[in-house]
Amino acid sequence: MTQQSGARSPRANDQQAQETQEAVEQADEDQPTAEPAVGDEDKQGTPAGMSAADVSARSDLARHLGVSAFPASRAELLAVARENQAPDAVLSRIASAEDREYENMQDLAAAAGIGTEESRS
């Protein structure tokens, strides 16, 4: 199909607009509808096994470390957090973890005393 340049007639523009609108409406019909969440745990916005404070603490860690920091030792994670200007609360969390290598954020969070998600079965 080749593109044409130049002015189009108003009728052609109207026809194209109508076809586009019909295509959009048809595409919308094929989309699933979202069902509202039910249950207290969904209303809280926290995964099972975690409190709102756990989610906040883990988010703070993640914001100042990033996924590229892992795997790393506690000392390496502290250095990355300092480079990223982490607040004292984040540095204290990392420092409170056992001195070993951490594979990912979940591993560090558990060692730092932050609740972690329960696995789904």
Q: Spell out the domain ranges in the chain.
A: 67-115
Q: Which of left, alpha, beta for 65 (phi over 0: left; psi -120 to 50: alpha)?
A: alpha
**DSSP-derived 3-state class of residue 86:** coil
Digit-by-digit pLDDT tens for the chain (121 residues) are 555 555 678 888 888 888 888 877 776 666 666 665 555 444 456 667 778 888 888 889 999 998 899 999 999 999 999 999 999 999 999 999 999 999 999 899 999 988 777 765 5
| pLDDT number for residue 20 | 82
Give the integer Cα–Cα distance in Å for 77 and 100: 11
Q: Is residue 71 a contact partner of residue 102, using CB atoms and an 8 Å limit? A: yes
Residues near 71 by beta carbon (within 8 Å), at least 6 away in sequence: 101, 102, 103, 104
Candidates 46, 71, 68, 49; CA nearest to 59 is: 46
